Amino acid sequence: MGRMADGSEETGPADGRYRALVVDDEEALRTTVAAYLARDGFEVTTAGDGAEAIAAAREHSPDVVVLDVVMPGLDGIEVCRQLRTFSDAYVIMLTARSEELDTLVGLAAGADDYVTKPFSPRLLMARIRTLLRRPRTAPGFGGAEAEDETPRRFGPLTVDPTPREVWLDGEQISLTRTEYDLLDVLSERPRMVFSRAQLIERVWGMSWVGDEHLVDVHFAHIRRKLGDDPTSPRYILTVRGVGYRMGPG
Of the candidates 203, 173, 175, the residue with the CA atom closest to the CA atom of residue 188:
203
Instruction: Give the pLDDT confidence of 211-225 residue by residue, as tens digits.
Output: 777 888 889 889 989
CATH of the domain at 195: 1.10.10.10
User: Residues 3, 10: contact at Cβ < 8 Å?
Assistant: yes
With a cut of 50, say whether residue 1 has pLDDT above it. no
Residue 212 burial (10 A CB sphere; 0-12, 13-18, 19+): middle
Instruction: Give the pLDDT confidence of 18-65 residue by residue, as tens digits.
Output: 999 999 999 999 999 999 999 999 999 999 999 999 999 999 999 999
Paired strand residues for 210: none
Domain that holds residue 157: 152-246
CATH of the domain at 42: 3.40.50.2300
Instruction: Give the pLDDT confidence of 147-201 residue by residue, as tens digits.
Output: 457 889 999 999 998 888 899 998 999 888 888 999 999 999 988 999 998 998 8
Mapping DSSP to helix (H, G, I), strand (E, B) and coil, where does residue 34 land?
helix
With a cut of 50, say whether residue 136 has pLDDT above it. no
pLDDT for res 141: 36
Alpha helices in 61-204 (DSSP H): 76-83, 100-108, 121-132, 177-188, 196-203
Model pTM score: 0.63
With a cut of 70, say whether residue 15 has pLDDT above it. no
Report if residue 187 sits inside a domain.
yes
Report if residue 194 sits inside a domain.
yes
Pair (118, 174) in one structural domain: no
Phi and psi, residue 147, nearest 5°: -80, -35
pLDDT for res 186: 94
* Cis before 135 (ω within 30): no
Pair (111, 156) in one structural domain: no
State how far the alpha carbon of 4 is from the alpha carbons of 11, 36, 41, 164, 244, in Å: 10, 13, 8, 25, 33
Pair (182, 118) in one structural domain: no
pLDDT for res 185: 92
Instruction: Give the pLDDT confidence of 66-117 residue by residue, as tens digits.
Output: 999 888 888 888 999 899 888 888 999 888 765 566 666 767 777 888 888 8
CB within 8 A of 40, min separation 6: which ones?
A: 4, 5, 125
The number of domains in the chain is: 2
Pair (57, 161) in one structural domain: no
Report if residue 147 sits inside a domain.
no
